[in-house]
Amino acid sequence: MARRLPLWTALLLPFLLTGVGTAAAASPPHDECPVPTIVESVLGTRDTCSTLDLGNPVGVVEGDEFTLATAVNLLHANKDDYIAVLFYASWCPFSQECKPNFETLASLFPTIRHFAFEESAIRPSIISRYGIHGFPTLFLLNSTMRVRYHGPRTVKPLAAFYTDVSEILTLFLVVTIL
């Protein structure tokens, strides 16, 4: 005897196969993300794009887990670009010292996107995934590597770290060298 599918499965199957109830029939404008069909949403078959438009900001973008995921996705889309990520705690005196210097670095290195994440805005599981055991923690990332900074939290050594890792010179270092 053949096994029968539940009634809800039989009713839902035609909608899943045709993608009814989505904007798949209408072509989206080029500057918007296409709306995935139900099947694509469930199976994850289409590359999704971010709804968070970070543009190309100069300065520090403060964010949460969604911003962190978007930043990492942008990084993988642009293989040569670097991003700087600072995890900090508002209660930490070392973070209070480092955060203004991080904002200065954002203006010294405008080609590197800067993101700051306060520890209360990120789940502990994500913090541990990045190997963070103390604050502040600064990473410089590109699509192939993640380098953690260990050293003084003043502008000059931080800028030297950026230049060593990314090979991007800033006006600050050019003046210092001359």
Q: Does a structural domain hold residue 50?
A: no
Q: Are residues 24 and 68 in the same domain?
A: no
Q: Are residues 136 and 168 in the same domain?
A: yes
What pLDDT is stored for residue 59 in this prediction? 81
What sign does the dihedral 9-13-19-21 (CA atoms) show?
negative
Q: What is the mean pLDDT of residues 17-28?
A: 42
Segments forming the whole domain that contains residue 14: 7-43
Q: Are residues 23 and 68 in the same domain?
A: no
Q: Are residues 131 and 86 in the same domain?
A: yes
Q: Does a structural domain hold residue 83?
A: yes
Q: Are residues 77 and 39 in the same domain?
A: no
Q: Are residues 21 and 93 in the same domain?
A: no
Q: Does a structural domain hold residue 55?
A: no
What pLDDT is stored for residue 167 in this prediction? 87
Q: Does a structural domain hold residue 170?
A: yes
The CATH number that applies at residue 149 is 3.40.30.10
Counted domains in the chain: 2
Q: Are residues 29 and 64 in the same domain?
A: no
Distances (CA, A) of 15 to 61, 113, 115, 126, 169: 40, 42, 41, 36, 55
Q: Does a structural domain hold residue 2?
A: no
Q: Are residues 25 and 74 in the same domain?
A: no
Q: Does a structural domain hold residue 143?
A: yes
Q: Does a structural domain hold residue 141?
A: yes
Q: Are residues 28 and 79 in the same domain?
A: no
Instruction: Estimate to the nearest angstrom the gap between the alpha carbon of 48 and the chain centroid.
Output: 14
**What does the H/E/C string look like for the chain?**
CCCCCCHHHHHHHHHHHHCCCCCCCCCCCCCCCCCCCHHHHHHCCCCCCCCCCCCCCCCEEEECHHHHHHHHHHHHHCCCCCEEEEEECCCCHHHHHHHHHHHHHHHHCCCCEEEEEEHHHCCHHHHHHCCCCCCCEEEEECCCCEEECCCCCCHHHHHHHHHHHHCCCCHHHHHHHC
Q: With a cut of 60, say whether residue 109 has pLDDT above it.
A: yes
Identify the band that residue 2 occupies on the pLDDT scale cut at 50, 70 and 90.
low
Q: Does a structural domain hold residue 1?
A: no
Q: pLDDT of 124-157, one tens digit each?
A: 998 988 899 999 999 999 888 899 999 999 999 9
